Amino acid sequence: MAAQPMDEYTPRQRGGAVTELSEHEVWEHRARVVLSPVAAPSILGLFGFAAATLIVASNLAGWWGGTTSGLYLAPFALAFGGIAQFLAGMWSYKARDGLATAMHGMWGSFWIGWGLLELLMGTHAIPTPATAATYFPALGMWFVMLGLLTGLGAFAAIPRGAGMVGTLGCLSAGSCLLAVAFITGNLGIREAGGWVLVASVGFAIYTAAALMFAEAAGGRTVLPLGKAGRDANVPGGFITRPIQYPEGMPGVKVGQ
């Protein structure tokens, strides 16, 4: 059967007069939307990022630990900061969130790579540079691209509110400092980079908690995220207004 040409519009009764639908209206009436809801993936992604980054960044900042600490941190960072966050990035893809897909996918991949690197060096499967704690240009190059791409993500996150901008902005700045530190061997800059990454952890935990509380409260604001619009920042207001059937309708399950 031949498709109906798009210039043959269906008439419609409007105020007693018969008018023709526009091309957009024709497609609008023909379209069918199939919903496949997912929870906000950034809740898991940001918590995974925050946990892995806090333990590693605090070690880089000189708060605790020694040269062998990385071997004990690697499994946790690889699993929670890496695998869990990478999965959050893929669920963000399903949720049609390009920014979260890029950021969680990128940083999840980084933590998987970092965990593997620490495990390989810690088990002597690959040689460890004698100056790895300070001068490690190969690792520094990892942070060059991480800092650049995360900085672009920080600009893209401006419409999302201050929470996400603060997370990605501090993360980009900390990555740039670590790039300089490992490429030049400057211990002071490395510690400064660790401090800035810890600041990004604070923003990440707050943002993830705000998203989690909002979802548990049915879309209402509990912790403001600095979004545009009064309702999104006043406790009790709506961040978003989800389209969903009332509780008890067929196919709708209350709770998890």
Q: Give the model's pLDDT for residue 160.
A: 85
Q: Give the model's pLDDT for residue 175.
A: 96
Task: Using a cut of 0.85, tell me whether the model's pTM lies above it.
Answer: no
Assigned domain for 177 exists: yes
Assigned domain for 112 exists: yes
More confidently predicted of 216 and 81: 81
Q: Give the model's pLDDT for residue 8.
A: 46
Contact 127, 68 (CB under 8 A): no
Assigned domain for 244 exists: no
What average pLDDT score do residues 21-49 get? Answer: 78
**pLDDT tens-digit series, residues 109-161:** 999 999 999 999 988 899 988 888 889 999 999 999 999 999 999 999 998 88
Query: Domain limits at 194?
Result: 41-216
Q: Give the model's pLDDT for residue 128.
A: 87
Assigned domain for 246 exists: no
Assigned domain for 162 exists: yes
Assigned domain for 199 exists: yes
64 by Cβ neighbours in 10 Å (0-12 / 13-18 / 19+) ranks as exposed
**Separation between Cα atoms, residue 109 and residue 106, nearest integer Å:** 5
Backbone angles phi, psi at 251, to 5 degrees: 85, -5
Assigned domain for 11 exists: no
Residue 2, pLDDT above cutoff 90 = no
**pLDDT tens-digit series, residues 69-91:** 888 899 999 999 999 999 999 99
More confidently predicted of 203 and 218: 203
Q: Give the model's pLDDT for residue 107.
A: 97
Assigned domain for 248 exists: no
Q: How many CB atoms lie under 10 A from the CB of residue 125?
A: 9
Q: Which residues pair with 19 in a beta bridge?
A: 12
Tokens of 197: 């990454």
**Separation between Cα atoms, residue 53 and residue 146, nearest integer Å:** 14
Percent of the chain past pLDDT 70, that is, above it, reads 77
What amino acid occupies position 38?
Answer: V
**pLDDT tens-digit series, residues 234-244:** 665 555 555 55
How many independent structural domains does the chain possess?
A: 1
